[in-house]
Amino acid sequence: MEAPVAAAGRAGEASPASSTMFGRMPSGVVDHRLVASPGGVLTSSLIAKAANKSMEELSNPAYSAAKAAYQGVPGAYSEVAARKACPDFDPLPCDQFEVAFQALSQWMAERAVLPIENSLGGSIHAVYDLLIRYRLHIIGETSLAINHCLVALPGTAKSDLKRVMSHPQALAQCDGYLRRMAVVKEAVDDTAGAAQIVARQGLQGVGAICSRRAAELYGLDVLEEGIQDVKDNVTRFIVLSRDPLVTSESDSRTYKTSIVFSLQPGPGQLFKALSVFALRDIDLAKVESRPMRTNPIVQIPSQDGSSFTRQNFNYMFYVDFVGSLQEVRCQNALRHLQETAPFLRVLGSYPMDTELGTMSSDDPAMMQNMSRYN
The set of catalytic residues is: 235, 237
Sheet with 221-225, edge to edge strand ranges: 184-187, 163-166, 206-210, 149-152, 221-225
Helix (H, G, I), strand (E, B) or coil at 124: coil
CA dist., res. 184 & res. 205, Å (int): 11
Q: In this structure, what DSSP letter does residue 175 have?
A: H
Question: Is residue 328 classed exposed, middle or buried when 0-12, 13-18 and 19+ CB atoms within 10 A define those classes?
Answer: middle
Radius of gyration of the chain (CA): 23
Beta bridge partners of 166: 187
Q: Which of 248, 245, 160 shows the shortest CA–CA distance to 207?
A: 160
Contact 30, 24 (CB under 8 A): no
Q: Which of 149, 144, 184, 186 shows the shortest CA–CA distance to 167?
A: 186
CA dist., res. 250 & res. 181, Å (int): 55
Angle at which helices 125-133 and 97-105 pack, to 10 degrees?
A: 30
